[in-house]
Amino acid sequence: MAPRASELIFLTKDGRIRRRPLELQALKASGLRVFCLTSGNLSSAEQAEAFSAAVKRITRIALENRGPFFARVTANSDVKLMDIELA
């Protein structure tokens, strides 16, 4: 049985998602939990390192909060829920 979107965690580096009305509508409808790397100038290896170092924080936030939500992940692996209007 495949997981529902609301059970998944979506990792991205595209922070513009939270400013695009159609993508926000899709996020809301799916219940998806999005974690976005805020530093776009990292190499692939640095991006993987930032997400890997933040995995415990990402897991805690994902378990403690129902989707949909949008959280930022910084290059030094800080994770914080963003206060955005889900259209």
Q: Is 17 exposed, middle or buried (0-12, 13-18, 19+ CB in 10 A)?
A: middle
Each residue's pLDDT tens digit, 30-45: 888 999 998 778 899 9
Rounded Cα gap, residues 10 and 45, in angstroms? 18
Each residue's pLDDT tens digit, 50-59: 999 999 999 9
Residue percentage of the chain with pLDDT more than 70: 93
In sequence order, what DSSP letters do the residues of 34-77 get, joined into one string? EEEE--TT--HHHHHHHHHHTHHHHHHHHHHSPSSEEEEE-TT-
